[in-house]
Amino acid sequence: MTKTLHHRACHLCEAICGLNIEVSHEADGRARISSIKGDPQDPFSRGHICPKAVALQDIQEDPDRLRQPHRRIGGQWLPIGWDEAFELAAEQLWKVQQAHGRNAVAVYQGNPSVHNYGLMTHSNYFLGLLKTHNRFSATSVDQLPQHLTSHLMYGHGLLLPIPDIDHTDFMLILGANPLASNGSIMTVPDVQARFKALKGRGGRLVVVDPRRSETAAIADQHLFIRPGGDAALLAALLHTLFAEGLARGSHLPVNGLEQAREAMAPFDAEAMSVLCGIPGEDIRQLARDFAAADKAVCYGRMGVSTQAFGSLCHWLVQLINLVTGNLDREGGALCTEPAVDLVGTTSGGHFNQWQSRVSALPEYGGELPVSALAEEILEPGEGQVRALITVAGNPVLSTPNGRQLDEALANLDFMLSIDLYLNETTRHADLILPSTSALENDHYDSTFNLLAVRNVTRFNRAILAKPEGALHDWEIFVGLAKAFAARAQLELKAMLPPAQMIDLALRKGPRGEASSWALSLQALDQHPHGLDLGPLRPSLTGRLRTASQAVEAAPALLLADLQRLARQLPPEPDQLLLIGRRHVRSNNSWMHNYQRLVKGKPRHQLLMHPDDLNQRQLQDGQMVRVRSRTGVLEVEVQSSDEVMPGVVSLPHGYGHSRHGIRLQVAQAQPGASANDLTDECLRDAVSGNAALNGVPVQVGAA
């Protein structure tokens, strides 16, 4: 037996940690991962690793993972060949579109679509041929308000300012728990060490969260906030900054600042205190502390995106950074300058050019909010969705009112899933096309380099050979595109493989042939541990894509939504609100099938404050019944003063007890799906993003 050592980044989450992976080669030619460790020579992650990295081996070896196309006939899954599978998919999809129009085929793209470069470069090669308006993705249960805000303020949905965590003196975090999530829209491997360094240089970390999360627990200050109360808090912070003369100028060209200032006038700290549950004096002090710091940054993520005021929250976050002079400034919030320049080479995005058929939800960047998917399948009429393609997603567990979607999927004429597993969603498919696994693939991180706290780049070569008869995701899309184009008599242009596309993008990009970096794939092969391109720098002035070439501080759409905030009523006493949480050993819905990750203390429970338990005469550890407008489930309750009174917390991605799935380890795990309680009618009014947090529920004994 021989062993080889490979350097390669993990791309299971956004942190892109460098790994040292040892592969053992048996005499008979078989190769097996023998160890996975952090790579201390990776200039970005510096040896950091989390427990999930070992999942790369577990995914590789999982006997439940599908390794060839499977067709469902009745209740039976039968393996079939690739050509037959492509023909079947093309025939069925074409049939549906011929009979019911192009929008009768819907598409849902899940989270790994941005963690796997072949999915990014090639999915549209096929999906674009369908020309359907019914495109959905995990974006609308996630960061949609951030793209929309950037689109409106900076003219491009990908001009996302990233917190300069390594240089700031004051970091205000709302609704993010990077100690569990490893950072999001802030690619930050080893976030704990970076927080430590922040404190070491005398900086402060303040966390606003309805739960004393792992991150809140290490913060200098934690403020409990009523779920959904962030827009009120942020508006009051801005009100204080303006009222007390704490606003500084910005070097950026800005339009609408005066309008924004006037718009904040009604939202004084005392009035907003009632809505967010934070005392007025604490709000004012927070504004003063933020303004007093030399370099400060306000950062909001999932907890403020997926709530009823998601877009308003993200606008107000941007405004706070802008008016304190911290936008596009070292130690504040800065845009990356990645080697593959998606901002420079794509359009700035579009919004509300069409709407969903049933609830008239707006499209953003060609996608509709996924909260509308089930009703588009269920509601009869012209344009009704009759066929669905899911790509690397599990919307039954990950989108609001998952039960309703589960039932809707059973009504489809045809469903195609491109996925590794037979899970809660893909069990409804007629055809599942599984791709190779991560380590059998090359990878370039065009998404997470764009979101990183330093400018970094690397190319990851596959470290395991592609098994005979297997196809990469991008090859599956090429196969589907060819079969569909033939059937629909469409002309299909040839397309380069992903590695060649990235090579071209690198060479033509801002750090390519025309620069001293001279980056190309070949050049990156000389840097197997990854290449650091330097700290983030102010760069926004020349890159703004608004028509005015200035930051738009007061977009009409967002200004108008302030009226909704002004009309918001104070919370009803005794109302319980449901929020979510993440654990470092889990990843959305698809990491529960690996024994090494699920072992240890259970973490699927509903967290509830002891006062709320007492009030309902419930005991720690008992089974409770949780009810919302959309559904009811039973789960163990855990008494915890981590959550504030009036708030219960349940992680999503659990509940693998539905029949017909093939996830043996996950099926044996306890837990219920939080999205059986979330409500497709609770949305951010501006973007249509799902409000997964702040869902009213009742809890009683089971």
Ligand X SMILES: Nc1nc2c(c(=O)[nH]1)N[C@H]1C(S)=C(S)[C@@H](COP(=O)(O)OP(=O)(O)OC[C@H]3O[C@@H](n4cnc5c(=O)[nH]c(N)nc54)[C@H](O)[C@@H]3O)O[C@H]1N2
Any idea how long the chain is? 702
What φ, ψ does residue 316 adopt, rounded to 5°? -65, -35
Number of neighbours of residue 462 by Cβ within 10 angstroms: 18
Q: Rule CB under 6 A: is residue 320 a binding residue for ligand X?
A: no
Q: Rule CB under 6 A: is residue 57 a binding residue for ligand X?
A: no
Q: Which of 6, 8, 10, 687 binds ligand SF4 (CB under 6 A)?
A: 10
Q: Which helix (H) or strand (E) holds 280?
A: helix 280-292
Residue 447, contacted partner among ligand SF4, ligand X, Mo ion, none, CB below 5-8 A by kind: none
Structure tokens at 476: 């599956």
R_g (Cα) of the chain, nearest Å: 25
Q: Rule CB under 6 A: is residue 13 a binding residue for ligand X?
A: yes
* CB contact at 8 A, 607 and 648: yes
Q: Rule CB under 6 A: is residue 15 a binding residue for ligand SF4?
A: yes
Q: Which of 14, 62, 142, 475 binds Mo ion (CB under 5 A)?
A: 142
Q: Rule CB under 5 A: is residue 552 a binding residue for Mo ion?
A: no
CA distance 104 to 126: 16
Q: Rule CB under 6 A: is residue 21 a binding residue for ligand SF4?
A: no
CA distance 204 to 169: 6
Residue 141, contacted partner among ligand SF4, Mo ion, ligand X, none, CB below 5-8 A by kind: ligand X
Fill in the per-residue mask, 178 to 207: x = in contact with ligand SF4 (CB under 6 A), - = not in contact.
----x------x------------------
Stretch that binds ligand SF4, among 7-15, 95-103, 134-142, 552-560 (CB under 6 A): 7-15
**DSSP code of residue 554:** S
CA distance 436 to 416: 17
Q: Rule CB under 6 A: is residue 462 a binding residue for ligand X?
A: no
Q: How far is the CB of 458 from ligand SF4 (least distance, A)?
A: 13
CA distance 488 to 505: 31
- Total binding residues for Mo ion by CB under 5 A? 1
Q: Where are the alpha helices (DSSP H) in 453-493?
A: 473-488
What φ, ψ does residue 374 adopt, rounded to 5°? -60, -45
* CB contact at 8 A, 20 and 39: yes
Please name every residue paired with 387 in a beta bridge, in sequence order, or none if there are none: 105, 414
Q: Which of 17, 88, 107, 141 binds ligand X (CB under 6 A)?
A: 141
Place of tokens 């991180």: 445
Of the pair 55, 254, the CB lying nearest ligand X is at 55
Q: Which of 7, 13, 227, 671 binds ligand SF4 (CB under 6 A)?
A: 13
Q: Where are the alpha helices (DSSP H) in 206-336?
A: 214-217, 230-243, 257-263, 269-276, 280-292, 302-305, 310-323
Q: How far is the CB of 174 from Mo ion (least distance, A)?
A: 17
**DSSP code of residue 573:** T
CA distances from 547 to 151, 250, 255, 365 (A): 11, 19, 11, 18
CA distance 575 to 102: 44
Residue 92, contacted partner among Mo ion, ligand SF4, ligand X, none, CB below 5-8 A by kind: none
Contacts (CB under 6 A) with ligand X, residues 664-683:
674-675, 678
Q: Which helix (H) or strand (E) holds 130?
A: helix 117-130
CA distance 88 to 85: 5
- Total binding residues for ligand X by CB under 6 A? 63
CA distance 403 to 33: 38
Q: Which residue is nearest to ligand X (CB)?
A: 303
Q: Rule CB under 6 A: is residue 692 a binding residue for ligand X?
A: yes
Q: Which of 20, 33, 42, 50 binds ligand SF4 (CB under 6 A)?
A: 50
Q: How far is the CB of 689 from ligand SF4 (least distance, A)?
A: 24
Q: Rule CB under 6 A: is residue 307 a binding residue for ligand X?
A: yes
Q: How far is the CB of 642 from ligand SF4 (least distance, A)?
A: 22
Residue 58, contacted partner among ligand X, Mo ion, ligand SF4, none, CB below 5-8 A by kind: none
Cα angle value 369/317/452 (rounded, 5°): 80
Contacts (CB under 6 A) with ligand X, residues 594-653:
652-653
Residue 17, contacted partner among ligand X, Mo ion, ligand SF4, none, CB below 5-8 A by kind: ligand SF4
Number of neighbours of residue 252 by Cβ within 10 angstroms: 18
Binding site for Mo ion (CB under 5 A): 142
Binding site for ligand X (CB under 6 A): 13-14, 110-112, 116, 138, 141-142, 174-178, 180-182, 184, 208-211, 213, 225, 227-228, 230, 301-304, 307, 392-395, 398, 418-421, 423, 435, 473, 579-584, 586-590, 652-653, 674-675, 678, 692-694
Binding site for ligand SF4 (CB under 6 A): 10, 12-13, 15-17, 49-50, 52-53, 182, 189
